[in-house]
Amino acid sequence: MEFILTIIVILLVLVISNIKIVPQAYAYVIERFGGYSETWSVGLHIKIPFIDRISKRVNLKEQVVDFPPQPVITKDNVSMQIDTVVYFQITDPKLYTYGVERPMMAIENLTATTLRNIIGDLDLDGTLTSRDTVNTKMRAILDEATDPWGIKINRVELKNIIPPKEIQNAMEKQMKAERERRESILRAEGEKKSAILMAEGEKESAILRAEAKKQSAIREAEGEAEAIIAVQTAIAEGIRKINEANPSKAYIAIKSLESMEKVADGQATKIIIPSEMQSIAGLAASCKEILDK
């Protein structure tokens, strides 16, 4: 009885130990009698003891591998170091298990040779400015080459491009010269704009001063004209009123004498008196003699 219980316990332990649970994003490759049997996906599975064997546990997540820098030579014979980052995913666990020995090493070597072939067709400047083109070409070539291995290459990135030290120094000097050139251009453009703005300001100021002087002269001339018109109007009005009053000859003679008095106050050495004024002066003298008697 104890022997039977022992056998039952051993069988239970054996069955329980062969119950396998495949987690999410993983797959198990099962071999039976040394040959491929099936691929377990996510869930509960029972392995036949001593017959089935888990050959490989495969991670189905997207994985990232950063390969060390690889020496390459450009078309213009410049040696440099380039390291790449490859994003890949296992799509077929069976092909991944039996397709190639040491898949990561195979991908690394394939990446290095592909990179050398692509960079060999580019010069230094093309290599530095064509990262997207190189990434696209490498992804297409690697994806096609790794397809029989059950691997899909999702993306390839050139992480670092490390040119020789003398090339780096020359590039730094070139960048420094370019920055200085741009700085000089910006400074010259700023000075030019400043000079233009100052000239435009002086021009507008001169125009405004001339316009102000013009307006002042116009206003002054208009004022003088109005003053002359006012004076002449007043004189004409006075003459009109005198004519309307019908002044006597004696009044006219007196006003003439007053005018002569003002003329005599001047600096002229000779005064020509019209004959009418002389007769008027004689008439005034006769009137004065009569009044004195």
Point out the domain boundary residue: 163, 182, 199. 163
Q: How many residues does the chain have?
A: 293
The predicted structure's pLDDT at residue 173: 81
Strands (E), 169-209: none
What percent of the chain is predicted at pLDDT more than 70?
A: 82
Do 45 and 74 share a domain, yes or no? no
The predicted structure's pLDDT at residue 54: 92
The predicted structure's pLDDT at residue 265: 57
The predicted structure's pLDDT at residue 291: 46
- Which residues does 260 contact at the CB level (< 8 Å), separation at least 6? 271, 273, 277
Q: What does each C-alpha distance from 198 to 53, 191, 195, 209 come to in angstroms? A: 90, 10, 5, 16
Do 106 and 73 share a domain, yes or no? yes
Q: Is the pLDDT of residue 282 over 60?
A: no
Whole-prediction pTM: 0.58
The predicted structure's pLDDT at residue 272: 53
Query: What H or E segment, with its residue span, contains residue 4?
Result: helix 2-17
Q: Is the pLDDT of residue 156 over 90?
A: yes
Banded model confidence at residue 273, pLDDT cuts 50, 70, 90: low
The predicted structure's pLDDT at residue 248: 60
Is the Cβ–Cβ distance between 154 and 173 less than 8 Å? no
Identify the burial level of 85 via C-beta atoms within 10 angstroms of its C-beta, where 0-12 means exposed, 13-18 middle and 19 or more buried: middle
* Average pLDDT of every residue of the chain: 82
- Taken in order 40, 46, 52, 56, the sign of the CA dihedral is positive
Q: What does each C-alpha distance from 167 to 72, 83, 180, 184 come to in angstroms? A: 15, 18, 20, 25
Q: What is the mean pLDDT of residues 217-245?
A: 79
Do 39 and 76 share a domain, yes or no? no
Do 69 and 156 share a domain, yes or no? yes
- Within-domain flag for 232: no
For residues 253 and 118, the model is more confident at 118
How many domains are there within the chain? 2
Q: Is the pLDDT of residue 290 over 50?
A: no
Range of the domain at 96: 63-163
- Within-domain flag for 157: yes
The predicted structure's pLDDT at residue 241: 73
Do 102 and 131 share a domain, yes or no? yes
What percent of the chain is predicted at pLDDT more than 90?
A: 33
Q: What is the pLDDT of residues 159-180, one digit of tens each?
A: 888 888 887 777 778 778 888 8
- Within-domain flag for 104: yes
- Within-domain flag for 70: yes
Q: Is the pLDDT of residue 287 over 50?
A: no
The predicted structure's pLDDT at residue 212: 87
Q: What is the pLDDT of residues 32-89, one digit of tens each?
A: 988 999 999 999 999 888 899 999 999 999 999 999 998 999 888 888 899 999 999 9
The predicted structure's pLDDT at residue 146: 94
Q: What is the pLDDT of residues 94-134, one digit of tens each?
A: 999 998 889 999 999 999 999 999 999 988 888 888 889 99
The predicted structure's pLDDT at residue 98: 92
CATH label of the domain that carries residue 67: 3.30.479.30
Which of these, 236, 63, 37, lies nearest to 146 by C-alpha position? Answer: 63
